[in-house]
Amino acid sequence: MNRAPIALQSRSSTFRPPTLRTLPVAVAANVVEIRARTRSTIMAVVKADGYGHGAVTVARAAVAAGAGWLGTTSVTEASALRAAGLAAPILTWLHPSGIDAEAAAADRVDVAVGSVDELGALLAQAASTVRIHLHVDTGMSRGGCPRRQWHELIALAQRGQRARRVRVVGVMGHLPLADQADPAANAPAVAGMRDAQQAIRAAGLGSPLAHLAATSGTLNDPATHFGMVRVGAGLVGIDPSGTVMMHGASRLTAPIVHTAAVEAGTPVGYDGTYVTDRATHLSVLPIGYADGIPREISPQAGVEIRGRRFPVVGRVSMDQIVIDTGAESFSAGTSATVFGPGGDAVPTIQDWARWAGTIPHTIVTGIGPRVKRSTA
Ligand SMILES: *Cc1c(COP(=O)(O)O)cnc(C)c1O
């Protein structure tokens, strides 16, 4: 069969598909920003696949830039980091399918235990010594041992340590109000942490590594830093308190797959919610709500094409969005940037969060599986 010469191939075969590119350089720059604000050990939290940026990619970049620990929600996620060759200490704290003590011990993964029952179950199955962090509730009421049971938890940990089933190496809290960037709002949790440290010391368990702050506390309130800070959002360019400009760590691009010149008065997309008010050009991007483009966006939403911002018009479909490019007619295959680190006309994840009435975390963790992943 005759094949067309490469140069005559249809251009559609050369489109770069919708791609989420992670920028490890930005992750490293964010670790530097964090280091400038704390002397405590930095844990890089890479749960939810590194906030959608690739857990291994983010972990490697963060460790190379000075993070000393890694954090995930499950031992399974932690084991994947070990399999990728990451050697830093790892803490897991949510355990969606319970704690696999054998896997934790084998992969040298620390586990946070947040209740007497959880610790009891761990002690019942621990064959070799598991390193644990006592997770105390410091005001979140979302996991962590309630204060009235701290002494029971600590006493059980003490017995488990004597039996060499566990070793208490950490004490963990979480700040419920840190996004307010107000040290006074954090004060009760800081005091609670000190009380927990005191109770642990009084039980003869020494002074294990204490950690309370996530990104907001780390960036705004040194009193919350203790021995270690647990930073996730900050690594990928999100300051939940909105006080520090971090570096966006990903770029989402999509090729224009179809363009059309239309007359004034042309309805666009399902239900015709947008009607052109002039003769214009429309470009279709093959990325929709199944790929994480929020369906609930305001008319301000836009994308960057060749250095300019153009609005997303009409309904967001499952697989596509339409861009009104005005007098410009871009050829199929032209790349549009949906979001990126910002600058020029490129929207940021903070822009998308504002347009969708959400937080940037849901934008980056919501990018669907059809979008190709790549690392700069
Ligand atoms: C997700 C999480 C963090 C990281 O929070 P960021 O605000 O993303 O830095 C820290 N600690 C716990 C317990 C978490 O669940």
Is the distance from the beta carbon of residue 240 to the nearest atom of ligand 1 less than 6 Å?
yes
pLDDT of residue 297: 97
pLDDT of residue 92: 98
| Alpha helical stretches, state H, 133-283 | 150-162, 183-202, 215-220
The CATH 3.20.20.10 domain(s) of the chain lie at 24-236
CATH number for region 24-236:
3.20.20.10
Closest residue by Cα to atom 14, ligand 1, is 214
Is the distance from the beta carbon of residue 234 to the nearest atom of ligand 1 less than 6 Å?
yes
CA-to-CA distance for 251 and 245, rounded, in angstroms? 17
The residues assigned a catalytic role are 47, 270
Q: What percent of the chain stands above pLDDT 90?
A: 94
Give Cα separations from 232 to 42, 92, 118, 213, 218 (angstroms): 10, 13, 25, 11, 11
> Mind listing the pLDDT tens digit for each residue in 153-204?
999 999 999 999 999 999 999 999 999 999 999 999 999 999 999 999 999 9
pLDDT of residue 342: 80
Is the distance from the beta carbon of residue 174 to the nearest atom of ligand 1 less than 6 Å?
yes
Q: Which two tokens stand for residue 282?
A: 């429309």
DSSP 65: T
Of residues 360 and 376, the one with the higher pLDDT is 360
Report pTM. 0.95
Tokens 């761990």 identify what position? 122
CA-to-CA distance for 39 and 161, rounded, in angstroms? 30
DSSP 224: G
The CATH 2.40.37.10 domain(s) of the chain lie at 7-19+250-375
> Mind listing the pLDDT tens digit for each residue in 82-104?
999 999 999 999 999 999 999 99
Which of 37, 45, 53 for mutating ligand 1's site (highest number of atoms within 8 Å of CB)?
Answer: 45
pLDDT band of residue 343 (cuts 50, 70, 90) is confident
For residue 304, list its beta bridge partners. 309, 337
CA-to-CA distance for 93 and 71, rounded, in angstroms? 8
For domain 7-19+250-375, the question of CATH label 2.40.37.10 is answered with yes
Q: What separation in Å is there between the alpha carbon of 246 and the centre of ligand 1?
A: 16
CA-to-CA distance for 275 and 266, rounded, in angstroms? 5
Q: Which of 290, 328, 291 is nearest to 309 (CA)?
A: 328
Average pLDDT over residues 226-238: 98
Q: Which two tokens stand for residue 26?
A: 């930005």
Q: Which two tokens stand for residue 174?
A: 């979480």
> Mind listing the pLDDT tens digit for each residue in 302-316?
999 999 999 999 999
